[in-house]
Chains A and B, each alone.
Chain A
Amino acid sequence: DIQMTQSPSSLSASVGDRVTITCRASQSISKYLNWYQHKSGKAPKLLIYVVSSLQSGVPPRFSGSGSGTEFTLTISSLQTEDLATYYCQQSDSMPPTFGGGTKVEIK
């Protein structure tokens, strides 16, 4: 199975800060990397698919980049509503696997 490693596991930032989350795959996954936002008690929500495509309705402050084994999710200007845990997920090969999550807190 492909292992996905996210860093950091948690972060605390102020409103308006630029936030970057990194996801590394144990082998090349080409462009098959997705990002999800999971707020406590809610359904996970797709933010970005195939590295950098923004899901409909997701604010443009969210962006993704990378290829091969290293990927990033960037929030250009953190907002209070971005309080959540963020997960990367590879869909290059079965089984689909998720990173361990990055919990984003607001200072």
Chain B
Amino acid sequence: EVQLVESGGGLVQPGGSLRLSCAASGFTFSDHYMDWVRQAPGKGLEWVGRARNRANSYTTEYAASVKGRFSISRDDSKNSLSLLMNSLKTEDTAVYYCARAGGWFDPWGQGTLVTVSS
């Protein structure tokens, strides 16, 4: 079964840092782009960033709202994706999903909640 499981969410103060993880199973992780997408409370889905595969030099891209603060990395040997979030703002409060990407997002993980508050 193709599965993605996020972890690492929690409460963090503004200006703080947090690292999210996404464990993948059931497919050849190294072949695929992997993305992070978030949903703030009461809002819609917002793309956060992408980690491309080895064939595309592991390049990354980020949404303008997080560029310079967030960093995505992957460990193909562990089928794992990470999102390092620095300089967190209250507006970063959201459920963060990892998703297998390419032409579309499928599957998605169940999400992990990040709350940025003092």
**Total number of residue pairs linking A and B with CB closer than 8 Å:** 56
Chain A interface size, as a band, is: 20 to 34
Determine whether the beta carbon of A98 is less than 8 Å from that of B104: no
Q: Size range of the interface on B? A: 20 to 34
Are B44 and A100 closer than 8 Å at their CB atoms? Answer: yes
CB pair B47 A96 closer than 8 Å? yes
Distance (Å) between the CB of B99 and the closest chain A CB?
8
When C-beta atoms are compared, the residue in chain A nearest to B61 turns out to be A94
CA distance A33 to B117 in the complex (A): 36
Q: Is the CB of B110 within 8 A of A42?
A: yes
B105 touches A99 (CB 8 A): no
Chain A residues within an 8 Å CB radius of B107: 43, 46
Q: A43, B111: Cβ atoms under 8 Å?
A: yes
Q: Is the CB of A46 within 8 A of B47?
A: no
Q: How far is the CA of A50 from the CA of B50 in the complex (A)?
A: 20
Tell me whether B11 is interfacial, beta carbon within 8 Å.
Answer: no
Helix, strand, loop or mixed for chain A's interface?
loop
Chain A residues near B103 (CB-CB < 8 A): 32, 34, 49-50, 91
Smallest distance from the beta carbon of A25 to chain B beta carbons, Å? 15
Q: Is A59 an interface residue (CB 8 A)?
A: no
CB pair A98 B47 closer than 8 Å: yes
Which of A32, A34, A44, A98 interacts with B46 by CB under 8 Å? A98
Closest residue to B6 on the A side, CB-wise?
A43
When distances are taken between beta carbons in the complex, the residues of chain A under 8 Å from B31 are: none
- Chain A residues near B45 (CB-CB < 8 A): 36, 38, 44, 87, 89, 98, 101
Contact of A34 among B37, B50, B104 (CB under 8 A): B104
Which residues of A (79-107) have their CB < 8 Å from a CB of B?
Answer: 87, 89, 91, 94-101
- Residues on A lying within 8 angstroms of B by beta carbon are 32, 34, 36, 38, 42-46, 49-50, 55, 87, 89, 91, 94-101
Residues of B within 8 A of A (CB): 35, 37, 44-47, 50, 61, 63, 97, 99, 101, 103-111
